Structure 1
Amino acid sequence: MNKAKKKIFADFIADRGLKTTRQRDIILDAFLASDRHLSIEDLYLKLRTSHPNIGYATVYRTLKLFAESGIAREIQFGDGQTRYEHVEQGEHHDHLVCTGCGAIIEFENEAIEKLQDKVAASHDFLIQYHKLELYGLCPKCRK
């Protein structure tokens, strides 16, 4: 799957007349290797020790390009930080967000998806996209 995302991004860069750079490749590899919802700072700090020549602004611009190309999605959880997650074609999930420690848990629930469709249909509403975020405390923070 990562190979496909790399191809999508390479095609996007070429279509925009931009150059493939070593720094973008390093940032892409680090992003794809992560299974977390990464902020710009998270990814920058992850790269800083092994690649001190990659600056914060480069990480910022590159993550924006990932989102524009469709391999990443920008998400906000109300804490003022934009995070980025992988986009899988045809896949959808929702989030549980801990207001104590900031943990983010992805979940899928077919019953919720069907209920959303039913509510939309009852209002003759066509859903184009949606996001569901539930905020509360994880088991660790409740102790």
Structure 2
Amino acid sequence: MKEYQTEQRKTLLRFFQENQEHKFSIDDIIRGLPPEAPISRSAIYRNLNKMVRDDLLKKTIESTGRKSLYQYAPFKTCCDRLHLRCEKCGKIMHLENESAESDLTALLAKNGFVLDEHATVLVGVCKECK
């Protein structure tokens, strides 16, 4: 049975698809949504939880442990890559250098350590923010 897509869910999905490189808190989402498409806070929570269960969004916890952050990351398009996050602008990118990934994997394996690439984020500054 096909599930009905509400206008609220379509609006949220469009917001995340247009901002794939960033993670958002609930407050960020509310501020970022178009004013002509108001969505209640409870509807946002309900839709985000459903989108996480459907593997459309990835939910993480902010470094302070106080906020949940959401990012568009459907498993069909998000590959098993290490992620890079700019601490200035918040942009998230995939490490696109297979040689560097292989070197890092070999170094960690030599030390008996295996990375969970879905949960691994290296923090630094992107070339635009340097």
TM-score (norm 1): 0.62
What number of residue pairs does the alignment pair up? 123
Report the Cα offset of residue 48 of structure 1: 5.5
Residue 44 of structure 1 pairs with residue 47 of structure 2: no
Distance of 1:89 and 1:96 partners within structure 2: 15
Higher-Rg member (1/2): 1
| Preserved CA contact (<8 Å) 2:21 2:93 | no
Gaps of 5+ in 2: none
**3-state SS of the aligned residue for 1:50?**
coil
The structure with the greater share of residues assigned to helix is: 1
Aligned ranges 1:13-92 → 2 under 5 Å: 14=3, 19-37=4-22, 38-47=24-33, 49-52=35-38, 54-79=39-64, 80-87=66-73, 88-92=77-81
TM-score (norm 2): 0.67
Residue 122 of structure 1 pairs with residue 110 of structure 2: yes
**Is the alpha carbon distance of 1:86 and 1:48 closer, same or farther for their aligned partners in structure 2, counting shifts above 3 Å?**
closer
Which residue of structure 2 lines up, in the alignment, with residue 110 of structure 1? 98
Distance of 2:79 and 2:92 partners within structure 1: 19
Distance of 1:96 and 1:139 partners within structure 2: 12
Which residue of structure 2 lines up, in the alignment, with residue 3 of structure 1? none
Report the Cα offset of residue 120 of structure 1: 4.2
Which structure has more relative contact order (CA 8 Å, sep 6+)? It is 2
**Is the alpha carbon distance of 1:82 and 1:97 closer, same or farther for their aligned partners in structure 2, counting shifts above 3 Å?**
farther
Report the Cα offset of residue 136 of structure 1: 6.4
Q: CA RMSD in A?
A: 3.2
**Is the alpha carbon distance of 1:107 and 1:60 closer, same or farther for their aligned partners in structure 2, counting shifts above 3 Å?**
same
Gaps of 5+ in 1: 1-9
**Is the alpha carbon distance of 1:30 and 1:77 closer, same or farther for their aligned partners in structure 2, counting shifts above 3 Å?**
same
Distance of 1:139 and 1:21 partners within structure 2: 37
